[in-house]
Structure 1
Amino acid sequence: MSIPAIDLMSALRSGQSTSPRLTWYGPAGERVELSGRVLDNWVAKTSNLLQDELDAEPGTRLRLDLPAHWKSLVLALAAWQLGMEVVLDAAEAELLATAEPGPAAAEGAFDAVMAVALPALAMRWLGELPSGVVDYAAEVRSHGDFFMPHVEPEADRRAVRSAAGTVHAHGGLLAGFAAPSAAPAAGASSAEGGERVLVRAAEGLESVLAQSLGAWQRDGSVVLVHPDVAVTERLLSDERVSRS
């Protein structure tokens, strides 16, 4: 059985690879748009960072102590592409990605900690980092644009542990974890290349991951909106949202 996340990334980088696949609306007027090709590039670089710098391999657990954000989606996709387990609750994990690295690094409960700067244009972590903490924004850009796993992932390994402790294997990630199709938004038309789905970050990272996977497996795209950003009729129209 193949790994759905690998097949998904192959689909996103092929076909309409220049079409938007992930658009982020953040605070302070942030708007980040990633085409299929650019999203795949970010995911490949992140997978290479995890594998080559942090010694991650299939079965390694990555806890995402992050809000719903476009970088959180990239990290999850990169981990799944590598065959890792994404941990969304407080269960044990070897690696941690967090926007608050101070307390996490001090605990010493992880083999490695990544500090993830959330501002859209952040090229590095602003301020001091505890010794040994990896600056995700500064390090990820130096890694390769194409990912080749050192060890082939297996479909029966764990892919995600939910906030409630529910576990889904890689082989069932899209069938069991991804959200099913939602109803079309009133008065909206389908975006070229598939549905254009509004996803609200306020619903939490687990829900955002499930909704995004559901949209992408249907050849759609995601408009992810920060809780502080008002979802107006103009935003829905400008982004050609077809489902919300």
Structure 2
Amino acid sequence: MTTIPAIGLMHSLRSGNATAPRLTWYGPDSERVELSGRVLDNWAAKTSNLLQDELDAEPGMRLRLSLPAHWKALVWALAGWQLGLETVLDGGPADFLVTDSPGAHEGQYDAVIAVALPALAMRWAGDLPAGCLDYAAEVRSHGDVFMPHTDPDPSGRAVLTGQGTSVLHGELITGFAVPHTDGARLHVPAAAGLENALAHALGAWQRDGSIVLTHPEVALTDKLLAAERIHGS
């Protein structure tokens, strides 16, 4: 079986101290979402199964993430990576588009997936363009365990950055993630963008750490820092 860093990372998230927080999100209107390693793996597995079973995604295909830095965007990146897809962050062409603003992309993609960002959203609020898939309404019906039909290729491309640089699956940790100390509990501002959030999250998770991701409207107060025990580098 071919092993890529993303698959090893998902295994570590769901094993060991799987109930520890790995991703905490602070959003508008006092929204707080906390995902343990097990829950994060569960969301990624369901999303990978949606891609593989419903959209016929396979290694080497391209997944464009047109999303802000948000906990659901990180789930989508993990789902694509463990399936062997290339995550496109520069707005370039792709097989699939994942977006919180559907409506102007007809005909450019094999599938457009609309992501409602509110944590409690059970479906997209309002009408969607014909053929657009509603992530919130569809994802929960998919399996909690992901088994790829085809082993991902470590020499395949994992990320196309906003600067147009490609990173291979086999180099996802060494060539894309930002290194962090063991067990770090990091603050990551969503205002710095999705690419920054992904790079820091990977670096923290790789070393048994976690992140606190905050929406631009959320003030980083001393109370929040203390409550979330943010530390490390």
Shorter-chain TM-score: what band? over 0.9
1:2 Cα deviation (Å)? Answer: 2.3
Task: Quote the residue 1:81 is aligned against.
Answer: 82
Partner-residue secondary structure (3-state), 2:125? coil
User: Aligned pairs, how many?
Assistant: 232
Counterpart Cα distance in 2 of 1:55 and 1:27: 35
Q: How does 1:187-198 map to 2 (within 5 A)?
A: 194-198=183-187
Q: How does 1:6-155 map to 2 (within 5 A)?
A: 6-104=7-105, 106=106, 108-155=107-154
Asked if 1:232 is matched to 2:232, the reply is no
Q: 2:203 is matched by which residue type in structure 1?
A: G
Q: 1:137 is matched by which residue type in structure 2?
A: A
Q: Which runs of 5+ in 2 are unaligned?
A: none
> What is the RMSD computed on CA atoms of the aligned residues?
1.1
Asked if 1:214 is matched to 2:213, the reply is no
Counterpart Cα distance in 2 of 1:58 and 1:174: 18
1:139-170 Cα deviation digits (max 9, x unpaired): 00000000000111010000000011000000
1:113 Cα deviation (Å)? Answer: 0.2
Task: Quote the residue 1:178 is aligned against.
Answer: 177
Task: Quote the residue 2:191 is aligned against.
Answer: 202
Partner-residue secondary structure (3-state), 1:15? coil
Partner-residue secondary structure (3-state), 1:101? coil
Partner-residue secondary structure (3-state), 2:149? coil
1:181 Cα deviation (Å)? Answer: 2.1
Contact 1:178 1:213 in 2 (8 A): yes
Partner-residue secondary structure (3-state), 2:186? strand
1:166-186 Cα deviation digits (max 9, x unpaired): 00000000001001227xxxx
Contact 1:198 1:243 in 2 (8 A): no
Q: Which runs of 5+ in 1 are unaligned?
A: 183-192
Partner-residue secondary structure (3-state), 1:141? helix
Counterpart Cα distance in 2 of 1:178 and 1:116: 25
Partner-residue secondary structure (3-state), 1:103? coil
Q: Moved runs in structure 1, 4+ residues, more than 6 A?
A: none
1:70 Cα deviation (Å)? Answer: 0.1
Aligned-residue identity in percent: 66
Counterpart Cα distance in 1 of 2:53 and 2:225: 40
